[in-house]
Structure 1
């Protein structure tokens, strides 16, 4: 079942890449930006928490 789902996902991304490459690029760019922002926020919060805990 997992190989089937993986195959369908690969076909979908390949189809998307051929049909609308600009849309796929924008989606990837926004996803990477969101991931970076979320990671930064988590680590900033963790650092602030540890500073308050050990201050």
Structure 2
């Protein structure tokens, strides 16, 4: 995803070193698509097989 320009990687110099990924403009453009897939999964996939999304990501999908 980073190589395709969907995510931007940022190294945080700390101890231990952290790496964060943030969506680019291209990645943000995918949010409606990912939201549609999430809504589809809510209908068609059994609840116990759906992994819990990170809260921040879930909020972005809801928009």
TM-score (norm 2): 0.34
Higher strand share: 2
Q: Tell me the TM-score normalized by structure 1.
A: 0.37
Q: Which has the larger radius of gyration?
A: 1
Flag the structure with more relative contact order, 1 or 2, with Cα contacts below 8 A and sequence separation at least 6.
2
Higher helix share: 1
